[in-house]
Each structure stands twice: as C-alpha cells, then as structure tokens.
Structure 1
C-alpha cells in the first residue's frame, strides 16, 4: 500500500500559492484547509464582529477582522476573527489598512465546525498565545462552551451564564449563553 507524502514547503512558498476557498493555513510546515463555514459558525462570527466592532471602532480601541490572514513566527493562519488593538493595525505609508498582517493578533476567536478536531484548533490558539496573543477563544457550538486561552498557555472553560473574558481595555460584557443565544429564533 503506497502512502502519498506531501512535500515539505516553506512559508514563503506557501504564501506564493493561489488562495483557496475556504482558506488554507500553514502550520508546522503543513497546509491545512479550513472547513467551509456553516450556519451556526457564520451566525456567531457575524454577531461577534458586529458586537466587538460596535464598542471598539468608535473609540479607536481595537478592530475585529473576519477571516484575516495573519503570518508570524513561521505560520500563516486565518482565524475566524482576529482582533487587533488600534495602534497595532498594520498601515500603509498613506495611512490605509495594510493588506498583509505579518504580526500576531491581540485576540483570536475560533468557532469549532462539526468536522474540525478540537485539538488542532486549540493547538493554533496555543501557538498564538506563545507568540504574544493576549486572549484566545475556542467556541464549541455543539456543547455551547468556550475555552479561553490566556498568556502562559493557561486554559479555562466557560459555560452557561459564565461571563466571558474580554481583551483588556474593551468595555464589553458577554456571557456564553448570550453568544450561543444568537443561534435561536426564540
């Protein structure tokens, strides 16, 4: 039985490949294509971006970006939501938002899809934490829980009426139940 082996490529070679739909990421010298977002995923992602940007953009505190490629420390990831503090958002010489973000996000939010492995996504958040990301969330719609990753790789589980940790300096109050309540029509 023959096993097909994917040739090892460099980060630079990966970044020169055409973009895929959905996006592919480069982690541990491996190309991993993200799953196509479905209803729960898209709903939570959209509501979180609106909610975070609603309190951070007017005051120029931070900005939440959906599906933004972030390349740093040998990886190129596309978090479901990447939040950057305002002063860290890469800019062009003319003061516009840069196309390439070659730094770690300050807050990374991932929403687990039905065909994703929790350990793979958690591993991505831990890598971000090791490289300066202040807060990571891993939302699991199946059991309505959130794993939060803090500096030093500390991981905490939040459920139900638990208040979610928010990036310092952002005046936002959300519980796990509120976030997953966005999925209900009731």
Structure 2
C-alpha cells in the first residue's frame, strides 16, 4: 500500500473537525494524520495484502467473540491518539471497560483512544521505516502490545512499552501474552 505524506504546515493547519470532514467527504480514500499534522494519503491494499488482512482479523474476531474481553477493529477504523495523530492500524483491539468509558458519540466518530493492541501488516509497497515509526507512535500513545508483520522479510516485530523490539524470523505463532489472554495467532501460512 503506497502512502504519500503531505505537509500543509507552511500554508495552513487542519483541525480535528476538518480532518473528520475531509475523510467523510472522500470515503473512497484512506487518510491518516501524523502527530505533527501531516496528512497521509494511502492507496488501497492489493489482493494479497487484503486477503492476508482479513485472514488475520478473522482470528481476532473469533477469539474476541469467545472471550468477550474487548472490541476488535479493522483497518478502516481511525483512532484519535493522545499525541494528536489519527491512525488506522490493520487490526486493533480495545479492552472492554476502556471502550465502554467512551461516550456513544466518541464511539461513532474517530474514537479518542489508543488501542491496547495494534497490528500492522506490511504490504510489498510499504516503507518499513515508516511502519516502524508508526508502531513507536502507538507505544508512545499507550498501546500495550503491537505486532508488525513483515512477509517481505519473513519477520514479526513485537513492540512492548519500555522494552527493546523483539524480532522473530518466520514465527509459527505469536502469543497475545497478558494483553490478549489465551490468544494465539498462527502464522505458518503467512511465510509461505
């Protein structure tokens, strides 16, 4: 998924309301906004990445339906992070009491909350450095666990607050640890 970043700061700034209006007026375009206000325009994923995204998301949905511990979101959900960024992870999960603490209006719009868990799946055109920076942004905003899956290099990067990034080569599974209790993501199929 190719992304283009546009810096409007020399001429204007876009408020959170204006960003929301921009997204609503252009529903076929995926936008994100960095914490410094830069607009990120993202192309839709290709077939292989889209297929992989839904396969991964399905495992989270099935686990969450059974555990009833939180709410799972797909890549079309934009979260308003505490640092001012507005980001859309490929898969996100928010613990139930944190989600329920939001007002109905906050839940309907871009939720002003950082997910407890985030997953980014690198597509062939994604810039790895930018994805890694995005993962760090999630951690700084309050994420408790993050996975960056990189099929291009057969690697999974695990992000935890206050810890070094753990890089695994072609892991068969990843554990949700204490954040996603009893969740295991099978990844053997992804590295083929």
Bin the TM-score by the shorter chain: 0.7 to 0.9
1:16 matched residue in structure 2: 21
TM-score normalised according to structure 2 size: 0.79
1:141 matched residue in structure 2: 151
Alpha-carbon distance, 1:77 to partner:
0.7
1:33 matched to 2:41? The reply is yes
Deviations 1:25-50 (A, max 9, x none): 00021001123111222122111211
Q: In angstroms, what is the RMSD of aligned CA positions? A: 2.5
1:132 matched to 2:142? The reply is yes
For structure 1, the 5+ residue unaligned runs are none
Aligned residue pairs, count = 176
Going from structure 1 to structure 2, the CA distance change for 1:121 and 1:11 (only over 3 Å counts) comes to farther
Which of 179, 182, 185 in structure 2 is aligned with 1:174?
A: 185
CA contact (8 A) 1:148 1:165 kept: no
Q: Hey, which of these two has a bigger chunk of helix by percent?
A: 2
Mapping 1:1-186, distance limit 5 Å: 6=8, 7-12=11-16, 13-19=18-24, 20=26, 21-27=28-34, 28-67=36-75, 68-72=77-81, 73-90=83-100, 92=103, 98-100=107-109, 101-152=111-162, 154-161=164-171, 163-168=173-178, 169-178=180-189, 180=190
**Aligned mates of 2:95, 2:142 — CA distance in 1:** 13
**Aligned mates of 1:158, 1:82 — CA distance in 2:** 21
Deviations 1:155-182 (A, max 9, x none): 111222454241524212235424x06x
Single out whichever of 6-15 and 68-77 deviates more from structure 2: 6-15
TM-score normalised according to structure 1 size: 0.82
**Aligned mates of 1:105, 1:11 — CA distance in 2:** 22
CA contact (8 A) 1:92 1:98 kept: yes
**Aligned mates of 2:7, 2:120 — CA distance in 1:** 29
Paired residue secondary structure (1:139): strand
Single out whichever of 4-13 and 44-53 deviates more from structure 2: 4-13
CA contact (8 A) 1:25 1:32 kept: yes
